[in-house]
Chain A
Amino acid sequence: MSTVAVEVVYRGIFQKSLARNIVRSIVFAARKEGKIGTAFGRYGDSPERNGIPAKQFAIVADTAEELEENLAVYQAHEVDVTINVDDTLCKGVESWGWYGLEPINKLTKPNGTLIVTSRQSADSLIEDIHQRDEPFNLSIIPAVPSFSGLWVYKDDHTDVRILGTLCKVCPQLVSLASMVEAIKDQGWSDLKITSAEKAFERANDRQVEPGEGTDSVPFSFTLPGWKTMEEGLVIRGQGSGGGFRGGEEGFQPDRNEVFKKWSTRSMRPVVNFETCIKCTLCWLQCPDTCFDITPDGLFDANMEACCGCGVCEAVCPVPECVTMVNEAEFNDNSSQWEAWQVDKDGYKKWMTVLIEKEKLVERTHGFHHVGQYAEEAAQAGDD
């Protein structure tokens, strides 16, 4: 008599097929052992938006009666294993159906496991993960997060590597043999079976103790009741704004106090304040009005409003003045302009290292510069 639940936390659209492959394979494998299961996405995340955090679930039980409690739900109420297929989501999950920022391990049962595909070390990931009162295990699959598109699937074996690891860290779910059968049934190649088996052999985990991780309190807010909510479906407009950080100079718009951004983005702009020519294009073109105008007339991207789209980088006429950098490099939403004010040389060094590093990595999605797609497409044509 038991029920086992698994969630996959992923970037909407880009990793939808990956998440679906994982949750469906779990149910197929469990079926091999006579168990019954369900696979579903969190309805509030759907229809998915590019890159916005989302969840899918697989729940398996010994009997249909046991499974019944887990049907007709928006999401599992707790899970034995959380699978995170983009390590930047270790900072937390924010669905576009806005529930606030939820810690990545929020649903993970005490002594359950968090599986992450990442090139980062355990210590580095744990810095991003919210502390909790009960221990859990962290299992890292060394991999670059696997991103695809709406119509294409990058079959880099991330799905089966996760499934193999899952069988090892959660043996009460299904055996590796059943998982291999489920992989075969889906018509996947023998190579994928090998990848699953290797992942099973190599799987390792490390216990994360209470108190380990970031002590930052995830942003939360109170929903109004029907007696306190304004009638007529009214959303009051924001004020026009005022001086930078409440001062006399500069400008920052008033923003919604509740609807903020953290892990929605997988990249953020890093600004070189020294080469900025104050052309205002980033400020004008940002679809989320995220740039605050500093007292010295520069533009400081406010991370509570930025969704990481990269328009600022694309419109900036100065080379390397705005560069989108992977979120894994950051631990908070603090102001770059303020950091630059405090220590200009330190900021320059920090920024230069980040930008050089960024040039070397392939982005999970999007491009380094305008026209890159056309260049790559032309090159592919030549090949």
Chain B
Amino acid sequence: MTIAPAQAELYREEKEELISGSEAIGIACALADVDVITAYPIRPYDTVMQYVSKLKADGVFDCDFIVAESEHSQFEIVKHASAVGARTFCGSSGVGWFYAFEAIAVTAGLRLPVVAMVGNRALDDPGAFGVEHNDALAVRDLGWMLYWVATAQEALDMALLAYKVAEDSRVFLPFALSCDGSFLTHSQAIVNVPTFEQVKQFLPDYDRGKLQLHPDNPITIAPQVNEDWLMEIRRQSDEAMRRSTNVIKEAYEEFKATFGRGDPSPFIEEYMTEDAEIMLVGMGTLALPARVAVRRMREQGKKVGFLRIKFFRPFASEEIQEALSKCKAVAVIDRDYSYGSPANGGVLFNEVRSAMYPATNHPHILNFIAGLGGREVLVRDINEIVDTTQRAIDTGKIEEETTWIAVRE
């Protein structure tokens, strides 16, 4: 796709914008010069499609922008576009994401590096717009990389990283950016927008090589197979996901060198974790009240830290083990549920607890379900979580493995 002159002009110099996380991803699409974008409205994801259509209408972003007749077609279109070598973007929320599930599954199966934004939203019914993580988490087993964003700046940054990693031929897997509905999709923050030149330097063109569907490269994809084929195909995807860990590390180092910002690790963020006796664990915008609570508790001399899991897939088991095995107790805060799961706990809790099994030191691991349906998680909720966790340390036993926070009895 050609770059519109206005598009080049708009991003000639670094600048600050007051934008939402969705708008930040829209700008990242323009900076990455995405070729094909498909859309189908559903809150809160629709904020990104509105912004992309505005950029296109303003003549500052030249892309094929296709409003499909359903989420299923929306994801089918980018899947096909990606197979012929187009850089693609799409997204959805809640049950809209679920309506596209057949396409979502085959996108990973075909190793197509589609980048999608999931505006996290509670699954219907009841109809609700607020954030829960169950929508995006549903793809956790399928070969999608899954990243949980905490700020609008991170949304822009990681959208760029997503293309770099997904389109790496060692990986060729789709990438979903999970953005908490409302808190990221509908709140505007000051974001540093990089230049076209910087992005060009960081992000090479998408080259599908010998896998590209093209008349000059006659291939067939997506055949029917039997039991004598499928396991090897699955193992290939498994290997690609395993390889993604190093690709992410490389890409992140390059990102930091190019744009001058980033954390020590692409997979996790550790906040005041040194010497922490209690470690809080969570994803997404939960980091904001968690960091405030941790700062206040540190001022009172309480040894509390916060571990934010950024990549849910690939799950950085070793880094997480290392970060958590030093403390006395871990409180995993899930903005999701998994009815009937071990401990009737959340998805994140069960992943963390499973990752901790091989560790030599085993802290208590407690689970807290909080902030469902977009309910705010307040500093006082975090305080309650820490108090409960402290009791487990003091008494040496866990009263309840899973506790629901701020739910009316």
Interface residues of A (CB under 8 A from B): 24, 27-28, 31, 36-41, 43, 46-47, 65, 68-69, 71-74, 223-227, 233
Contacts and interface: CB of A to CB of B under 8 A. Distances in A.
Given A43-B129, A226-B409, A233-B125, A38 B291 contact: no
B186 A72 contact: no
22 contacts: A24-B18, A27-B18, A27-B188, A27-B190, A36-B190, A38-B188, A43-B182, A46-B129, A47-B43, A69-B289, A69-B292, A71-B183, A71-B189, A71-B285, A72-B180, A72-B285, A72-B286, A72-B289, A74-B374, A225-B408, A225-B409, A226-B409
Contacts of A69: 288-289, 292, 379
B289 A38 contact: no
A226 B180 CA distance: 25
B408 A223 contact: yes
A27 B291 CA distance: 23
B409 A31 contact: no
Given A31-B16, A224-B408, A38 B288 contact: no
Nearest to A73: B376
Contacts of B409: 225-227
B130 interface: yes
B126 to A, nearest CB: 5
Contacts of A65: 295
A74 B180 CA distance: 12
Given A68-B291, A72-B285, A43 B130 contact: yes
Contacts of A37: 190
Most buried by A among B125, B379, B407, B408: B408
Contacts of B126: 233
A75 to B, nearest CB: 9
Nearest to B295: A65
Nearest to A39: B188
B408 A28 contact: no
Given A27-B18, A43-B129, A71 B408 contact: no
Given A27-B18, A43-B182, A72-B285, A38 B130 contact: no
Contact of A74 (B16, B188, B376): B376
B31 interface: no
Contacts of B286: 72
Given A24-B18, A31-B190, A47-B43, A72 B377 contact: yes
Given A27-B18, A72-B187, 13 more contacts: A24-B188, A31-B190, A38-B189, A40-B20, A40-B187, A40-B188, A69-B292, A71-B187, A72-B180, A72-B376, A226-B408, A226-B409, A233-B125
A73 B371 CA distance: 11
Interface bracket on B: 20 to 34
Interface in B359-409: 374, 376-377, 379, 407-409
A71 to B, nearest CB: 5
B288 A68 contact: yes
Interface string B125-157: 110011000000000000000000001000000
A11 B29 CA distance: 33
Contacts of B43: 46-47
Given A69-B289, A72-B376, A43 B125 contact: no
A39 B18 contact: yes
Contacts of B188: 24, 27, 38-40
A46 B376 CA distance: 17
Which of A37, A46, A69, A233 has the most chain B CB atoms closer than 10 A to its own CB?
A: A69
Contacts of A38: 187-189
A68 B292 contact: yes
Contacts of B16: 31
Contacts of A225: 407-409
Centre residue among B43, B126, B189, B377 by max chain A CB count within 10 A? B189
A350 to B, nearest CB: 43
A39, A71, A223: which has the most chain B beta carbons within 10 Å?
A: A71
Nearest to B20: A40
B180 to A, nearest CB: 7
Contacts of A68: 288, 291-292
A72 B129 contact: no
A27 B18 CA distance: 8
Contacts of A47: 43
Contacts of A41: 186
B44 to A, nearest CB: 8
Contacts of B18: 24, 27-28, 39
Nearest to B130: A43
Contact of B182 (A39, A74, A224, A233): A74
Contacts of A73: 183, 376
Closest 4 A-B residue pairs measured CB to CB?
A225-B408, A40-B187, A43-B182, A72-B285
B201 to A, nearest CB: 27
Given A31-B16, A69-B292, A46 B407 contact: no
A52 to B, nearest CB: 15
Contacts of A74: 182, 374, 376
Interface string B283-308: 00110110110010000000000000
Contacts of B182: 43, 74
A227 B188 CA distance: 38
Contacts of B189: 38, 71
A38 B285 CA distance: 14
A370 to B, nearest CB: 33
A71 B180 CA distance: 12
B407 A226 contact: yes
B289 to A, nearest CB: 6
Contacts of A39: 18, 187-188
Contacts of B289: 69, 72
A224 to B, nearest CB: 7
A24 B189 CA distance: 10
A41 B183 CA distance: 10
Contacts of B129: 43, 46
Contacts of A27: 18, 188, 190
B78 to A, nearest CB: 25
A46 B285 CA distance: 20
Contact of B186 (A24, A40, A233): A40
A217 B282 CA distance: 41
Given A225-B409, A226-B409, A71 B288 contact: yes
A43 B374 CA distance: 9
A28 B189 CA distance: 11
Contacts of A233: 125-126
Nearest to A27: B18
A36 B188 CA distance: 11
A224 B408 CA distance: 7
A31 B129 CA distance: 31
Contacts of B295: 65
Contacts of B183: 71-73
Nearest to A43: B182
A171 to B, nearest CB: 23
